[in-house]
């Protein structure tokens, strides 16, 4: 199964992806994790990305799309994947569709995790303290929320127009949210 998880920064995409990986035994592809790894290793891309991320801005499409295409070319994604943090704009969604078309593996499900923005700010503040993330200040979070609304939110409409989108309430315990997502996946995997 090829799944795209959508939602604002801090909506729980990464948490839910980790639970789905455990349940479905599919690789989790997170642009955030790919970028943080490059930053940690001090690669040239990582250093460029760090200065952009620390301002709460998005890393350019060509860099992120190239990383995703490289990752999707690996053998462990042959049976599917859980994509988190990509596509983040309509151009990337179209690029992903073209990539997956070439591979003969189109997106099967797009899940939007809906949550109140103030809840997100509280979650991210907690995560910043727990993980010591320099990109999670309140100022950068508010900027990322603005950027999300302007650039990423239209991706929801992109998948909705293609009949691939389901919205899931992102409030509550992570286990409750996970059950909602599993319900969607089970419902959509049933033969018509």
Residue 113, token pair as written in the block: 């995790």
**Catalytic one among 2, 50, 71, 88?**
88
Whole-number Å distance between alpha carbons of 130 and 133: 8
Which letter does DSSP use for residue 167 in this model? E
**Catalytic one among 55, 71, 133, 180?**
133
For residue 13, indicate whether it is catalytic: yes
CB within 8 A of 169, min separation 6: which ones? 114, 115, 177, 180
CA 164 to chain centre: 16
Strands 28-30, 81-84: parallel, antiparallel or unpaired by DSSP? parallel
For residue 144, indicate whether it is catalytic: yes
**Catalytic one among 2, 71, 123, 144?**
144
Residues with catalytic annotation?
Answer: 13, 88, 127, 133, 144
């Amino acid at each position: 199964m090829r799944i795209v998880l959508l939602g604002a920064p801090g909506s729980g995409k990464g948490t839910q992806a980790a639970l789905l990986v455990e349940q479905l035994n599919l690789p989790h592809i997170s642009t955030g994790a790919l970028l943080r790894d490059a930053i940690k290793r001090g690669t040239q891309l990582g250093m460029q990305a760090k200065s952009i991320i620390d301002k709460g801005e998005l890393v350019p499409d060509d860099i992120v799309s190239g990383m995703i295409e490289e990752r999707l070319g690996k053998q462990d994604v042959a049976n599917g994947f859980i994509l988190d943090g990509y596509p983040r704009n309509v151009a990337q969604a179209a690029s992903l569709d073209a990539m997956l078309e070439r591979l003969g593996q189109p997106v099967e499900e797009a899940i939007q995790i809906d949550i109140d923005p103030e809840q997100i700010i509280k979650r991210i503040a907690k995560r910043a303290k727990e993980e010591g993330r320099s990109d999670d200040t309140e100022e950068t979070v508010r900027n990322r929320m603005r950027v999300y609304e302007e650039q990423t939110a239209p991706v929801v409409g992109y998948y909705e127009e293609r009949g691939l989108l389901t919205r899931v309430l992102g409030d509550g315990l992570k286990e409750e949210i996970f059950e909602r997502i599993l319900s969607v996946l089970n419902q959509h995997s049933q033969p018509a």
